[in-house]
A = this chain, B = another copy of it.
Amino acid sequence: MGIKVLLVDDHLVVLRGLRFFLSTQEDIEIIGEVENGEAAMKAVEEQKPDIVLMDLMMPVMDGVEATKRLKESHPEVKVVILSSFSDQDHVIPALQAGATGYQLKDVEPDVLVETIRKAAKGEKYLHPKATDLLMSEMTSDVSKETALIHDLTKREKEVLEQITLGKSNKEISNDLYITEKTVKTHVSHILSKLEVHDRTQAAIYAMKNRLFESS
């Protein structure tokens, strides 16, 4: 028994093309073709594919949303995203939605087949550009704009960390054994140095730059 694949794409040519070269593979069996995410939900329910090969840009229900819902209702089904160059913005959301693979449409046929085979085994396989984005997402922001934080004194960093834990001034004063007045002074200095207007913005800044363990 081969790997049961459901094709999801709103362009007929793409569907035809995929069917054409996927059906030459002995271990792959195309069990259906649908043209949007909503139809994909139904098809998965009825036909129980192993793999859903899905486009991102589609009418009615896009690939990210469809992936998200699919993984909720049928976590065992593996989703492989097959997208075009243009929507790189959707790589991260798609992966977060639970996609097992990510390839671009200019992919070599045998690479796509390989991606499907790996996905069927639960292995992740991404296009280098997708991996690239994933890695830069990981490593960016971390060492980036940490310039302003260097202005903070030791104590101010401690207070900022408390802020990122969601504590109020009173709570901070308790935990650091200082008065609330002093906390306020520190907070004011922090806001000024980080060039933000309130503690929420300070917390956001700290988290985006991953200044502490918690973020």
Contact = CB atoms under 8 A, between A and B. Distances in A.
Interface of A: 92, 95-96, 98, 118, 123-126, 128-129, 131-132, 134-135, 137-139, 142-143, 163-166, 168, 196-201, 203-204, 207-208, 210, 215
Contact of A197 (B135, B165, B168, B208): B168
B123 A92 contact: no
A137 B138 contact: yes
A203 to B, nearest CB: 5
Given A203-B204, A204-B164, A124 B118 contact: no
A131 B131 CA distance: 8
A201 B162 CA distance: 11
Contacts of A137: 138
B125 A128 contact: yes
A198 B210 CA distance: 21
A96 B128 contact: no
Given A123-B132, A166-B196, 16 more contacts: A92-B138, A96-B138, A96-B139, A98-B139, A98-B143, A124-B128, A126-B131, A163-B200, A164-B204, A166-B198, A166-B200, A168-B197, A199-B200, A200-B200, A204-B207, A207-B207
Contacts of A168: 197-198
